[in-house]
């Protein structure tokens, strides 16, 4: 982190941020990891909507859901809300 930090001459006025947070991976926060049972999953997409971190994506080209473990914090909301209990939180 330190080698990339900018000097006072280089920072933008008003603290304008120059990195999107998508470069900051929060996936290592989790203790439990959501694992999906592909057969139970009805692709209702509730998990996609409810994830606080936007770590579950609907991929229309694959017509399937994808979990982004780089950002998943393991909160378990997806598992709790899944109407068919297709998601299980497993210890990492």
Partner 1 sequence: MSQEWKFTTKDIAEKPDLFLSGHRACAGCGPATVLRLIMKAVRGPTIVTNATGCMEVVSSIYPYTSWATPWLHTAFETAGANAAGIEAAIKILKKKGRIKQEQIDVIALAGDGGTYDIGIQALSGAVERGHDFLYVLYDNEAYMNTGIQRSGGTPLGASTTTSPAGTVIPGKLEPKKPIADIMVAHDMPYVATAAPYYWRDLITKVRKGLEVNGPAFLHVFAPCPRGWRSDPAKSIELSRLAVETCMFPLWEAADGEYQLSAPSKVVALSPQKKKPVKEYLEVQGRFRHLFTPKFEKMVDEIQRITDEKWQRLLKRCGVKLST
Partner 2 sequence: MKDVVKQEVLALNGDEAAAYAAKQSDVDIVAAYPITPQTIIVEKFSEYVANGEVETEFVCTESEHSAMAACLSASVTGARTFTASASAGLALMHEMLFVTSGCRAPVVMAIANRALSAPLNIHGDHSDSMVERDSGWIQIYTENAQEVYDSIVQAFRVAEHQDVLLPVIVGLDGFTLSHTLENVNVLPDGVVKKFVGTRKLPQVLTHEGKAVPFKLDPENPMTMGPIAMPNYYFEFKRQQEEAMKNALDVIKQVHEEYAQMSGRRYGNGLLDAYHIDDAEIVIVCLGSTAGTVKTVVDELRASDVKAGLLRIRTFRPLPVKEIVEALENVKAVAVMDRCMSFGGNGGPVYHEVRHVLYDANKHPYIVNYIYGLGGRDTSPSQIRRIYEDLEKILQTRSVENPIQYVGLRELKEEE
Would you tell me which residues interact with partner 1 (CB under 8 A)? 6, 15, 17-26, 29-30, 44-46, 48-55, 58, 60, 68, 71, 73-77, 79-81, 89
Instruction: Read off the tokens for 13.
Output: 């006025």
Helix (H, G, I), strand (E, B) or coil at 44: coil
Residue 8 or 63 with smaller CB distance to partner 2: 8
Stretch that binds partner 2, among 16-24, 42-50, 61-69, 73-81 (CB under 8 A): 16-24
Residue 36 or 71 with smaller CB distance to partner 1: 71
Helix (H, G, I), strand (E, B) or coil at 35: strand
CA-angle at 85, arms to 40 and 49, nearest 5°: 95
Q: Which residues of 22-31 are buried (b: 16+ CB within 10 A; e: fewer)?
A: eeeeebeebe
Name the binder of 8 from partner 1, partner 2, none, CB < 5-8 A by kind: partner 2
Binding stretches for partner 2 (CB under 8 A): 1, 5-9, 11-20
């Amino acid at each position: 982190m330190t080698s990339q930090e900018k000097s006072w001459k280089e920072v933008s006025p008003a603290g304008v941020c120059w990195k999107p947070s998508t470069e900051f991976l929060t996936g290592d926060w989790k203790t439990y990891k959501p694992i999906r049972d592909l057969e139970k999953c009805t692709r209702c997409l509730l998990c996609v909507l409810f994830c606080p971190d936007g770590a579950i994506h609907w991929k229309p080209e694959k017509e399937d859901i994808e979990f982004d473990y780089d950002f998943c914090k393991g909160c378990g909301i997806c598992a709790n809300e899944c109407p068919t209990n297709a998601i299980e939180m497993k210890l990492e």
